[in-house]
Amino acid sequence: MAELSLTPRERRTLAARAHELKPVVLLGAAGLTDMVLREIDRALVAHQLVKVRVPDDDREQRTRIFTTVVEQLSAARVQSIGKTIVLFRPSPESEEKEERGGRSNARPDERLRSAKNRR
């Protein structure tokens, strides 16, 4: 799967929204396992924008984990600060709307707003 790309404006908007979030997935001593990937995937389906805490002190290892997650889950990199990474993936419902002729160029902040309104 391919990593989603964001414009700088979308990235800034999502980073601002993520500021108040708490990490919803914490990697343990085992690192990035299939089980952890599934949990991150579930969090992205439920919330679209999530923080993941990576306790590894090695910066290169955290970068590899970030790259692996975004590629395997078709998510977008929003930011990485210290041991916390922020990921975004639009909900499958908003992607289906776009395919059916909805707003194909909806910005991530609009996608997030519409997802909140459906709840």
**pLDDT tens-place string over residues 28-78:** 888 899 999 999 999 999 999 999 999 888 899 999 999 999 999 999 999
- Among all chains, which residue has been given the structure tokens 């708490």? 22
Helix, strand and coil in the chain, % to nearest 5:
50, 20, 35
| Annotated domain spans of the chain | 8-90
Q: Which of these CATH numbers, 3.30.110.60, 3.30.1330.60, 3.40.50.261, 3.30.70.20, describes 8-90?
A: 3.30.110.60
Beta-bridge mates of residue 79: 86
Residue 91 pLDDT: 83
Q: Is the pTM of this model over 0.85?
A: no
